[in-house]
Structure 1
Amino acid sequence: MSSIQYRWLAVIGLVAGVVGWAANFFLSENGYPAPVLSSVALVAIILVAGATLFLGLRVRSWRNGRRDRNLDPLAAARTVVLAQALAYAGALLLGWHAAIFLTQLPLWSLRPGHAGTWSALAVSVGGILMIATGLIVERFCKLPPVDKDGTGPGSGGGAGNGTVNGTGDGSGDGGEYA
């Protein structure tokens, strides 16, 4: 499984920004409101980011040696995938809503306190939260590097050899996931 690509986060954010700007321009020219999620969506963003962080903390505690219970390898893999999806979705939301916020900002003097502008700003901050949480949780799920001579972190036998279920050679390079 590959890591989150920062380049793709930037591309997704930029493309979403251009499309958001174009959609906002078209809709505002035709008398429609700005196409932003309401501030209530921020609650859903916080809940999803919190759940992802909780799952990531469970994997991190197992990775750091607290192994009173076995870690299901499928649950760990799902946590990594959830973290990556969260980061990419955050880039999409950030790009779209930041572009709309920037196009609404010059109108601030005409209509201060406009709800669409505040919603766009709130969801943009939520997108940043999603990206940060995704990157942090992905890092939580990476296994520490193992020295070739078997003296580094994660070396040894059984469940502490740098693998999820205690099988394998434990020769991870730090790029493997729990």
Structure 2
Amino acid sequence: MKARRTPWWYYLLAMLLGLAAGVGIAKYGERTGLPLIGAPWFVAALLALLGVVVLVLAWQVHKYATTDPAKRSSVFDPMKAVYTLVLAKALGLAGAALAGWYGGQILASLPHAQASYFSEAILECAITGAVSLADMVIGIIGERLCQLPPNDGPEHPKVAEPGRSRGLAQPTANRSAE
């Protein structure tokens, strides 16, 4: 399985889409009188906890992947590494989208900041948006930590040619001249 790094512009696109959605939902709430902005405090705590869990899992994968195979004391499930990589990618993109979402709500609520409801919502969105931005960074770092070190396979220049070191005959070039 070959996993590719998430391109930088995916994060930018997710953040811009979240920003547009956040502004849109805040403006809709103003028109209808339905209070849709803000975030409960447990959302920020839950997002922070999720970021810590992903970082710990990614660090375990990195530690196992970079340890010398002869010195490894335990067996590591490769599916855990794959799940951690997928979780880190998802956390990075979701963190970008949520940072945009809460940032959009802040932008739409700034003209009404003198009202207590809006000032409380701006504070909630600022804290949750900062945690979401941290989750995006943790997702990017976690994705990098899950990257395997380069493999010194037979085609690597540091590895001796397989036949020459054992004295075996090498295949000759095209013999069409014979």
TM-score if structure 2 supplies the norm length?
Answer: 0.78
Is 1:86 the counterpart of 2:86? The answer is: no
Secondary structure at 2:41 match in 1: coil
Secondary structure at 1:114 match in 2: helix
From the two aligned structures, give the one with the greater helix fraction.
2
Alignment partner of 1:97 out of 102, 106, 130: 102
Amino acid across the alignment from 2:98: L
8 A Cα contact 2:109 2:118, kept in partner: no
Secondary structure at 2:73 match in 1: coil
Q: Highest Rg: 1 or 2?
A: 2
Q: In structure 1, what is the equivalent of residue 122 of structure 2?
A: 117
8 A Cα contact 1:83 1:133, kept in partner: yes
Which portions of structure 1, spanning 4 or more consecutive aligned residues, are displaced by more than 6 angstroms? none
Render the CA deviation track for 1:55-109: whole Å, top value 9, x for unaligned: 1111111122162112211110000000001011101111110011112123223
Q: In structure 1, what is the equivalent of residue 46 of structure 2?
A: 44
Taking every aligned residue pair, what percent have the same amino acid on both sides? 24
Q: CA deviation at 1:137?
A: 0.8
Alignment partner of 2:64 out of 49, 62, 69: 62
Q: CA deviation at 1:112?
A: 8.4
Aligned-residue Cα RMSD (Å) equals 1.8
Q: In structure 2, what is the equivalent of residue 28 of structure 1?
A: 30
Rounded Cα–Cα distance in structure 1 between residues aligned with 2:108 and 2:92: 24
Rounded Cα–Cα distance in structure 2 between residues aligned with 1:36 and 1:88: 21
Amino acid across the alignment from 1:13: M
Rounded Cα–Cα distance in structure 2 between residues aligned with 1:80 and 1:103: 35
Rounded Cα–Cα distance in structure 2 between residues aligned with 1:110 and 1:46: 28
Question: Alignment length, in residue pairs?
Answer: 151
- The structure showing larger relative contact order (alpha-carbon pairs under 8 Å, at least 6 residues apart) is 2
Render the CA deviation track for 1:109-149: whole Å, top value 9, x for unaligned: 34488221111111110111110110111111111224513
Deviates more, 1:30-39 or 1:71-80: 30-39
Q: In structure 2, what is the equivalent of residue 7 of structure 1?
A: 9
Rounded Cα–Cα distance in structure 2 between residues aligned with 1:37 and 1:88: 19
Rounded Cα–Cα distance in structure 2 between residues aligned with 1:140 and 1:150: 25
TM-score if structure 1 supplies the norm length?
Answer: 0.78
